[in-house]
Amino acid sequence: MLHISKESVRSLVPAFLDDETLVAVLEALNRAYRAGDPWVSDAEYDHVWRAELEDRNPEHPFLHRVEPEPQELFSGPLVHHSQRMLSTDKAYDSDKLSRFFARCEKASVQLGWAEKPMYQVQAKLDGLSGRLYPGRVLATRGDDGRHGRNISHALERGLTIIGGVEEGAGEIVVVEDYFQSVLAPKGYEHPRNFMVGFCGADNPSADHREAAAAGVAHFVAYRTLPAPTFTAEWLLAEIDTIFAEITGACPYRTDGIVISAMGTRLRDYMGATDHHHRWQIAFKKNIEGVRAVATSVVLQTGRTGVVTPVVHIEPVQLPGATVRKASGHNAAKLEEDGIGPGAVLRIVRSGEVIPTIVGVEEPSAHPVAFTHCPSCGTELVTDGRFRRCPATNTCPAQASGGIHYFFQTLYTAKGFGKKICAALAAAEKSIPAILQMQAEDFVAIGISPGVAANLADAIATAKQTPVPAARFVAALGIPHVGEASAAKLLSVFGSIPALIDEAEPNRIASIPEFGEITGSAIAEYIEEHRAELQEMLAAGIPLATTTQSTGPLAGEVLVFTGTFSRPRPELEALAREAGATVLSSVSRKTTRLFVGEKPGETKVRKAEQLGIPQATEADFPL
Ligand SMILES: [Zn+2]
C-alpha cells in the first residue's frame, strides 16, 4: 500500500489504482475534509475520485456508507439520533438530474398521482451537519448518521439558533460576510474548518469567542431555509438562473443546491439507500475540463451484468502523470454523446489527474455500440440508462465479479484479486465450491503452486474467523443490500436462515428506509436464488454471535455499579448481546451509568461531573 498524503494524492491517477488503494484514498480525502482541511475540492472528490469507484463497482460498500466524521475532534457523549441522518446524492450535470426527475415521476405514477411531482429547492450549506433536540441538546451527525457526539457546549459558547426552533436537523455555519472580512484575512481557509473548531473539544480560541459575541455563529435548521418550488421542466430549463439566485441570496457559504421531491407519501414510497434519500438530490456546478481524443472504448461486464465503458484516449502528458484512459458514464450517455474512436472529449482534471469525461466537443464518426456482452457474447438488454448482460447464470464476467465481491466484502480471506477470481469463474467454480478447495485444486485450474498454497491458507483462516452476520449478508451480493441495510433486515427477520426463507416484498418494503421498489427487488432476488444462498450459508464461514449493530442497546457504552435484583454479570452479558459495550469505569464515552443499591461513589461522582445520564434497573430494556 502506497503512502497517501496531501502531496502524493495529486500525482495519482484514479483509473490506475486497484480497488483497495482507491478506497484508501477516498477514506483519506474524507478524513481531511471532515477535519476541515480538504485536500481536493468537493467537485474533484465527487466527480473524480468517488465517480471512479461508482463506475467500477456501483455497489461497493464504501459508496453506501455515510461519510464518517473525525472522532478525535468531538469527544462528548454519544447521542442516539431519533431519525437517521443521511448524506445527499449528488448530480453535476442535467443528465443525472433528468434521471432523478424520471425516477420521482415513475414513483408518482405508481402511486396513481395524476399530476407530476413538484420540487422544493434550498441552498446546500457548506458547514458541519448536526441535529438539535429539545432542551438545547445539539449533536453532530456522527459516523453512521445514527449516533452523533454531544456538542451542546457550542450553544453555551454562543452558537445562535436561527428561527427559534427547538429541534431538527440542520447545519452549523458562520456568516460568510464575517468570514470574508474578519476570518479569511487571519488565515482561516474554510468556514467549515472554523466551525469545526468552534464545536470541538478544545477550549474556544479568541477568534471563536469574538464570532460568538458578534452573533455570526449559527445553527440553521434545514426547514427554516427558503424553499421555493418548481416543476422538473422549469428546473431543467432554468437551472443556472435558479442556482445563482438561491445560492446568491444565502448569507452562508454554499456548495450547491438541494432539490427535494415534495409529498410525504412519495417520500415514504421512494425510501432511502444506506447513503441517501431517494427523493432528494444535490446539484453542484460542473468543473472545467481539458481536451482529449478518444482512441477506443473497451466494455466491461460487472457482477450485476451491467456493461460499463472505459474510454482509451491519446496519451495526455501532465506534470507527474501520463493519462491514457478515462471512465465513461453509462451506455445511454455514451451513445447519446457519440463517443467512439476520434471523438474529442472534455475530461475533468484533478491536479495532475484526468479521469472522467464531462463533455464532448466533437462526436465520433463511429460511435460505440453496446450490442453484445464482451465476456460471453450474449445480446445485451436495455435497463434504463444501462445495458445489461442477461446471462446471469452463465456469464463468466458476472460470476467472476460475484466471487470478487464476496471475498472483498467478507474481508477475512485475502488474495482473491480480479485475475484469480476470473480463473475460478472460467473453471465454473461457485463460491461454496471455492470454499472447499485445497491447494492442489487451485493448481489443477492453472494457478501457480505458491499462490495456490496462499489461497488455501486464506480459506482456512476465513473458516476460523467469525464475521458479523450483517457483513456476511452483504457479501452474498443481494442487490441494494450493503452492510447497514443487511443489519436492518436481520433486525426484522431475526436470522439469516429466516431472511432467506421468509423474504417477501411487502415485509421488506414495510421496513423504514427501504421503500416498495427496493423491497420488491430484494425479495425477488432472494426468491430466485434461495437454493444458492442456502448453500453459501452452509459453506463454513463462521458468524459472530453478537448482534452488535442491531440490538436494542446497539452503540451504547454502559457501566454498571452497585447490586441489582439479578446478578450483575447476567445484566452485563445481556447488554453485550443487545449490542452494548460494557466497561468497568465511567469516561466521556459512557452513554449511561446503571446504578443499583450501594453504588460505587467514584463512578457516580464521575458521571455527575461529565454529565453522563444515570439509569436504574427499571430502565434496563431486557
Ligand atoms: Zn455476459
CATH number where 435 lies: 1.10.150
> Domain check: are 183 and 231 in the same one?
yes
The pLDDT of residue 351: 34
Torsion angle of C-alpha atoms 591, 594, 599, 605, degrees rounded to 10: 20
Point out the domain boundary residue: 267, 283, 299: 283
158 and 174 co-located in one domain? yes
Whether 240 and 134 share a structural domain: yes
Higher-confidence residue of 511 and 453: namely: 453
CATH number of the domain encompassing residue 568: 3.40.50.10190
pLDDT of residue 350: 42
Say whether both 259 and 275 belong to one domain.
yes
How confident is the model over 445-459, as pLDDT tens digits? Answer: 999 999 999 999 999
Position 319, amino acid: P
Cα(386) to centroid(ligand 1), Å: 14
Contact 44, 287 (CB under 8 A): yes
d(CA 210, CA 204): 10
Q: What is the pLDDT of residue 287?
A: 55
Does 293 lie in the same domain as 272? no
Q: Which amino acid is at 518?
A: T
* pLDDT, tens digit (0-9, with 9 covering 90-100), for 97-118: 999 999 999 999 999 998 899 9
322 lies in the same domain as 403: no
Radius of gyration of the chain (CA): 26
| 430, 462, 494 - which closes a domain | 462
428, exposed or middle or buried, with CB in 10 Å at 0-12, 13-18, 19+? Answer: exposed
Same-domain status, 82 and 144: yes
Q: What is the mean pLDDT of residues 529-537?
A: 92
Cα-to-centroid distance, 376 and ligand 1 (Å) = 4
ipTM above 0.90? yes
162 by DSSP, 3-state: which? helix
Give the pLDDT of residue 187: 76
415 belongs to a structural domain: yes
Number of folded domains that form the chain: 6
DSSP strand E in 25-180: where?
78-80, 87-91, 119-125, 128-133, 137-140, 147-149, 160-161, 168-174
**Could you tell me if residue 544 is inside a domain?**
no
Residue 545 lies in a domain: no
Residues 49 and 97 in one domain: no
Smallest CA-to-CA distance from 491 within 545, 552, 580 is with 552
Judgement on whether residues 433 and 570 belong to the same structural domain of the protein? no
Distance 300 CA to ligand 1 centre (A): 9
Residues 130 and 267 in one domain: yes
Q: Band the pLDDT of 480: cuts 50, 70, 90.
A: confident
User: Domain check: are 212 and 140 in the same one?
Assistant: yes
- Whether the predicted pLDDT of 311 surpasses 80: yes
pLDDT at 547: 46
Tell how far the Cα of 505 is from the centroid of ligand 1, in angstroms. Answer: 28
Closest CA to 319 of 41, 25, 10: 10
- The rounded Å distance from CA 396 to ligand 1 centre is 7
Instruction: Kindly state whether residue 552 falls inside one of the protein's structural domains.
Output: no
Lowest mean pLDDT among 49-53, 314-318, 384-388, 449-453: 314-318
69 found inside a domain:
no
Tell me, what's the pLDDT at 57?
A: 75
Per DSSP bridges, beta strands 87-91 and 276-283 are parallel
Query: In this structure, are strands 119-125 and 254-261 parallel, antiparallel, or unpaired?
Result: antiparallel
Query: How many C-alpha atoms does 401 have within 13 Å on its Cβ side?
Result: 23
Which of 283, 318, 349 is at the close of a domain?
283
303 CA from centroid of ligand 1 (Å): 10
Residue 550 lies in a domain: no
Q: What is the pLDDT of residues 568-583, one digit of tens each?
A: 777 887 887 777 777 7
Q: State how far the Cα of 179 lies from the Cα of 556, in Å rounded to an integer.
A: 38
CA atoms within 13 A of residue 50's CA, in its CB half-sphere:
22
Provide the annotated active-site residues. 124
- Domain shared by 44 and 165, yes or no: no
Give the distance (Å) from ligand 1 centre to CA of residue 536: 23
Tell me the residue range of the domain where 430 lies: 396-462
The verdict on residue 135 lying in a domain is yes
What's the CATH code of the domain at 485? 1.10.150.20
Q: How far is the CA of 59 from the centre of ligand 1 (A)?
A: 18
* Domain-embedded: residue 384: yes
- Residue 401 CA to ligand 1 centre (angstroms): 11
Residue 374 CA to ligand 1 center (angstroms) comes to: 7
